[in-house]
Structure 1
């Protein structure tokens, strides 16, 4: 089993960082087939994600993003590539201006 740990400091504050974390979770679900759950807290949010061969968490607070993931045996062979893709996606989201969350329409 291979472990990933990615840390990124930011100056967004919790509200804007929360939007980035939501965008990351949506991207993880749509592009990588992850099942994500998002739990908001007073000072820190946590995104739990998993799919076959991968489990992990993304913790978000007003000053940093902290991602920890465990890769199963088969995906462990691709650890460097997976880590590079996660870093690229997270860095792109941090560099982009935060978009307002999409509002759901009432039926």
Structure 2
């Protein structure tokens, strides 16, 4: 197993971060075939996701997105590409929302 950990701070506040996490969850389901579930909390939401060879969590709070991904043996060969794509996509989403705020 190979792990990917990614953290992105933000200044969007919890409501906007929750909205963005919902958008991420929809896109992840449609584009990557991830089965996603969200557990909402008062201070943070936790999205769990999985598909064959990949599982993980995205914890969303009022000031950060914390993403932890576990790759199975077959997917671990793609770790550098997945890390780059995750950083690019999550950063793009946050930047776009920050400009609209």
Instruction: Tell me the distance in 2 between the aligned counterparts of 1:26 and 1:83.
Output: 20
Q: Deviations over 1:4-55 (max 9, x none)?
A: 0000000011000001111111111111000000111000001000000000
How many positions carry a matched residue from both structures?
Answer: 98
Separation (CA, whole Å) in 2 of partners of 1:96 and 1:49: 24
**Distance in 1 (alpha carbons) for counterparts of 2:60 and 2:97:** 17
Can you give the 5+ residue segments of structure 1 that lack an aligned partner in the other structure? 99-107
* Structure 2 spans left out of the alignment, 5+ residues: none
TM-score normalised to the size of structure 1? 0.88
Task: Give the number of the structure whose residues are more often helix, by fraction.
Answer: 2
Q: Which runs of 4+ in 1 moved over 4 A?
A: none
Q: Indicate the SS of the match to 2:46.
A: strand
Structure with higher Rg: it is 1
* 2:87 counterpart of 1:87: yes
TM-score (norm 2): 0.93
